[in-house]
Amino acid sequence: MLKLEGCFTAIITPFKGDKPDLEALRRIVRFQIKNGADGLVPCGSTGEAATLEAGEYLEVIKTVVDEAKGKLPVMPGVGTNSTAKSVEMVKKVSALGVDGLLAIVPYYNKPTQAGMKAHFGALAAATRLPVVLYNIPGRTGVNMLPATALALAREYSNIVGIKEASGNLDQVSEIAGGAPEGFAVMSGDDSLTLPMMSVGAKGVISVTANVAPAPVARMCALFREGRSGEAAEMHHRLFPLVKNLFVETNPIPVKYAASLLGLCGPEPRLPLTPFTQKLRPGLKAAMVKAGIKLPS
C-alpha cells in the first residue's frame, strides 16, 4: 500500500543529446535511495513530461521502477488536458509496476469544477492503483477548489491524496481539515512544506530533494516526531536554496544544480533553455550554505 508521507522527490529527466539519459536517470534513483527519500515521482512537471515522446515517457518510468527495485515507491505523473488520452495513459502506466499515479488538473482548457470531478472520476475508474490529485493553478490556469478535492476523496476509494501547489494555506487547511481517513495532503511548494505540515499536510513532493533529499526528508521527519523547532531550523537552512531553485522556470535551475553534483548533464529540453549564466553563482552558493558538498 502506498504510504503518502515524508519526502517524495519529483525527479528530473536527464537528457543526453536528443534522448533521455537513462544511465544518468539510474544514478539519480540510486542517489535518492541512498539519501533517504521516501518516494519517487518521475514524469511530472519537474521531469519535463510535457516534452517526452510517448515511448520516452514509458521508458523513463520503466527505468525508474527497475532501478528502485521496490526500495522506494514510484508514483509517476500522468494526465493531459484530454480525459480520453489521460485514461489511456493511466492504463498503460498502471501495467508498469508502479505504486501509484499523480494526476494533474487538466491544463489550458480550464475545466469547471464539475468537469474536474468527471475527469478524475474517469481516471480513478480506469485503475486499481492509488491516485493522487495534482493542483497547480500557476501551470494549469485553473484552481481545484477544496470542495471538489474532498468530494473526489469521498467518492473514490483509490483517490488517496492531493499534491497542493496553489500556495493558499487557507485552501490547504480546508482540505486537510475535511479529509476522510487515509486521504493525505502533500505540499507542492518546497518553501511552504513546513507551514503546510503545520496545518495537516503529511509531507512534500519536492523539487529541492533532487539535490538535497536527506535534509528535506529529515525536516519532514522531525516535524512528524513533534520536534517542530528543529524542523524550523532545517526549513531556514534550506530556504535560500529553495528560492534559488525557482529563480527561473522549474526544472531549469535544479537540473543545473544536479549537474554540479555529477548526477547528470544540465540540459533541459526545448522550449526550456539552459540556466542563465549570471544566476549560477547564487545557486551554487546556496547549495553550499545548505550543507551540500560539491565535488571539487
pLDDT at 193: 98
In single-letter form, the type of residue at position 219 comes to M
Asked whether the predicted pLDDT for residue 133 surpasses 90, the reply is yes
The H or E element spanning position 186 is strand 184-187
Asked whether the predicted pLDDT for residue 156 surpasses 90, the reply is yes
- For the chain, list the domains and their CATH numbers: 6-289 (3.20.20.70)
Convert the pLDDT of each residue in 34-49 to its tens digit.
999 999 999 999 999 9
pLDDT at 258: 98
pLDDT at 108: 93
| Residues comprising the chain, all counted | 296
Query: Rounded to an integer, what distance in angstroms lies between the CA atom of residue 121 and that of residue 187?
Result: 22
Residue 116, classified by CB atoms within 10 Å of its CB into exposed (0-12), middle (13-18) or buried (19+), is: buried
What mean pLDDT comes out for the span 233-256? 98
Name 193's Cβ contacts closer than 8 Å, sequence gap at least 6: 187, 201, 203, 204, 206, 216, 219, 220, 235
Convert the pLDDT of each residue in 195-227 to its tens digit.
999 999 999 999 999 999 999 999 999 999 999
Convert the pLDDT of each residue in 50-109 to its tens digit.
999 999 999 999 999 999 999 999 999 998 889 999 999 999 999 999 999 999 999 999
pLDDT at 264: 97
pLDDT at 79: 85
Asked whether the predicted pLDDT for residue 1 surpasses 90, the reply is no
18 pLDDT tier (thresholds 50, 70, 90): confident
Q: Give catalytic residues, as residue numbers.
A: 134, 163
The H or E element spanning position 159 is strand 159-164
Average pLDDT value over all residues in the chain: 97
pLDDT at 296: 76
Name 107's Cβ contacts closer than 8 Å, sequence gap at least 6: 81, 139, 140, 141, 142
pLDDT at 153: 98
Count CB neighbours of 264 within 10 A. 22
Query: Cα–chain-centroid distance for residue 156?
Result: 22
pLDDT at 137: 95
What mean pLDDT comes out for the span 161-182? 97
